[in-house]
Every structure is written in structure tokens, then in C-alpha cells.
Structure 1
Amino acid sequence: MKTFKFLPLLLLFIVASCSTIKVNSDYDKSVNFSQFKTYAYMKSGIDKVEISDIDKKRILNAIDQQMLAKGFTKSETPDLLINIFTKSREQVSVNQFNSGWGYGWGWGWNPYLYGGQTTVTTSTEGVLYIDLVDAKKKELVWQGEGKGDLSKKAEEKDKIVNDFVTQILAQYPPVLPQK
């Protein structure tokens, strides 16, 4: 009976783990991040990103929201330049489910007799990189990466993009080690 109490928790964990965004970041440990107060986009880099203009706009709007929430101001003479880069790939999953009892090579489980079923599903995994570049030195000072499942449904894209950007920029500024 104890097994049934943990079953809903296990199912919730499995479902949650399938829809998460994995986030990483890296930064230059010699940089004082408190000096950065303003930002702008690196137009030459943004123009090279090979996604639709609508998706670019979604990403840039989500970045604007997060940067403003962190106290940054958009500026013509910024401290930081923001660039983005994206990648995607198709994931194919093949699942086989076999059920049934019978005989063949002996009594017991025989996957060739009853209820064999194979399902094939595809999904798109996307990666979003957000680079923060010191505008004066033209050096990368921080990079965040988010990886997760994408959707082709327009009504889901805004939420997915916001989740990606929010989780990536939650790691900025980096927590510097205490001296």
C-alpha cells in the first residue's frame, strides 16, 4: 500500500522532468559586474540569427523585460552589448510496449504473441545562448545557455521563450565567491 502513496509523486516528477529547461552560465571571474547599468543589442549579431523575425522579437522582448526587472536601462551608449544565438534539432523517440503471455520458447513472457505496440514521436529541442559583452572592451563577460523542448504552436511560443529567457537571466549577475 505504501507504493501507491509515492506513485503520484513519482509521476509528477517524471512529467516535470520532461518539460524542464536546462540552464548553464559562465563568466569572466575578473569582471566587476556592478559597473554595468545600461545595455543595447549587438545588431550585427542579432541580424545573423537564423530564426523568424517574430521569434527574434519574442526573445528580445523577453530579454528587455528581464533586464528592466534587474534595474538595467536601454541606452545608445551602453555598458553591455547583448547578443543571442540559437540552435535546434529534431529529437526522435521510439517506444515499444509489449504485453501478453503465451508460450513459444517456454511458458511466460513472449513479446511476439500479444499486444506489441511501437510508437514514434518527434520533438524539437532548442538552445538559446545569451551573450553579454563589455561594450568598452568588446569582450565577452557572461554567457547563459538554455536548452529545452520547443513548440510549433504560436500560442505556446510566448510562454516557452519567456521561460527560457527568465531562467537563463536568473543566473545573471553571477554570484561571486566571497574573498
Structure 2
Amino acid sequence: MKTSIHALLVTTLFALAGCASVKVDQVDSAHLANYKKYTWVKPEEKTSQLPQISNTITEENIHSAVKNEFAKKGIVEDDQHPDLLLMYHIFTSQKTENVPNPPVYPYYGYGFGPRAYYFHGQLVPIAYAGYYNPWNTGYHQEHYTDGTLIIDVIDAKNNELLWRGSMENPVNDAGSLSRQFAKEAMQILGKYPDAK
């Protein structure tokens, strides 16, 4: 029961994550359209040190997603003569979510079937005077790790921050994090204006 509730929570959190929106802060988009070449740089400040997040697989997947998305906009990677410097940051924090307990559904019986059931590790007796009505099971708290992916676009000549896009989602599924961040990078860069 506990495993299925935890699986339901993770599914719910990722369903909510599907509704997460990209946040953008930028200079005038007409000005951004003049930039056509970029290269990657690493941020000076340390971001997430979680091994499932901070690794070369995640980095390569994010770089590949950005490269594909920028190519659609007429912006190419050029390490020798870039107009733009790109860097990404991933920050994590622990959060708590109030989650409704699963409902107890009606059960009809007069002495047949189980006499009790386990709910959240507690034995709950079943009344057999007719229908066993659903009751308000209340809420409980679940803890999860929240992650924010930020992509910064900087003018290569004067180091001015031109554009910043970010997206926030739960990051509890270690097996799919590199794909998750690659998908988010595409969604973030989807908001970037096309080059002229």
C-alpha cells in the first residue's frame, strides 16, 4: 500500500510538472535577433552537486537539446568566434507537498470477505452493517526534491546578460533526470527569439 501511494505521489508531482511554465527575463527581442553564434562556458558559482544531476550525461543531453533548438532559430555553435556565451545552472531544494490520502471506497457485506484492511500501516476494522461509506481520509505531507534549470545567454563582447530562461520541476526520478533536463532545455530555448 505504501509503495503504491508513493508511486501515485511521484506520478502526481510529474503530472503537475507537465504544467510547469517557462519563465523568461530578457532585453529587447529585436536586439537578440542580431546574435547568430554561441559557445558554452561554465558558471563560476557551484550549483547542484547531486551526482545524479551533476554529470557529463546530463551536460551532453542539455547541450545537444540546446544545439537542436538553436539550429531551428538560425543560431549555430561556434567556439572560435561566438556572439553569445551560454551557461546553465541547476539548483535543487527540498520541498513539502500536502497530498490527500486515498479515499476508502464503499464495501457491501454481511460477514463475508475481509474483517479489516491496512491503511498507512494501521489496521482498520470494517463494519458489516451494510455499505461501508467512504470517509474523509485527510492529508499527509510528502517530501521531494525540487529542481530549477536556468539557461543564461550572455553577450560575448561585454559580458552583459541578455536573456535568462528557467523552469522548475520535481527531480526525484534519478533514472530519467538527464532526459528530463534535456526536454526542459528545449522548452526553455523554445521561448528564445529567432535570429535575423
TM band (smaller chain): 0.5 to 0.7
Cα distance in 2 between the residues matched to 1:30 and 1:170: 13
Residues 1:92 and 2:96 aligned together: yes
Cα distance in 1 between the residues matched to 2:148 and 2:136: 38
Map 1:70-149; keep pairs closer than 5 Å: 70-75=73-78, 76-95=80-99, 97=101, 116=137, 119-149=140-170
Q: Residues 59-96 of structure 1: CA distance to partner in whole angstroms, max 9, x if unpaired?
A: 22222222223221111210110011221112222445
Cα 1:33/1:160, change in 2 over 3 Å:
same
Q: Residues 78-125 of structure 1: CA distance to partner in whole angstroms, max 9, x if unpaired?
A: 0110011221112222445487xxxxxxxxxxxxxx785764423221
Cα distance in 1 between the residues matched to 2:45 and 2:141: 36
Aligned to 1:159: 179
Cα 1:91/1:172, change in 2 over 3 Å:
same
Look up the SS of the partner of 1:146 in the other structure. Answer: strand
Deviation at 1:38, TM superposition (A): 0.5
Q: Residues 98-153 of structure 1: CA distance to partner in whole angstroms, max 9, x if unpaired?
A: 87xxxxxxxxxxxxxx7857644232211111110011121111111111122333
Residues 1:28 and 2:27 aligned together: yes
Identity across matched positions, percent: 23
Deviation at 1:56, TM superposition (A): 2.5
Contact 2:48 2:92 in 1 (8 A): no
Residue ranges of structure 2 left out of the alignment (5+ in a row) = 1-12, 105-134
Deviation at 1:31, TM superposition (A): 6.1
Cα distance in 1 between the residues matched to 2:30 and 2:160: 11
Q: Tell me how many residue pairs correspond in the alignment.
A: 146
Aligned to 1:37: 36
Aligned to 1:69: 72
Q: Which has the higher helix share?
A: 1
Contact 2:36 2:75 in 1 (8 A): yes
Q: Residues 16-63 of structure 1: CA distance to partner in whole angstroms, max 9, x if unpaired?
A: 5453222110111286122111000123x1784434223223322222
TM-score, length basis structure 2: 0.61
Look up the SS of the partner of 1:35 in the other structure. Answer: coil
Contact 2:61 2:179 in 1 (8 A): no
Residue ranges of structure 1 left out of the alignment (5+ in a row) = 1-13, 100-113, 175-179
Look up the SS of the partner of 2:161 in the other structure. Answer: strand
How big is the alpha-carbon RMSD for the aligned residues of Structure 1 and Structure 2? 3.1
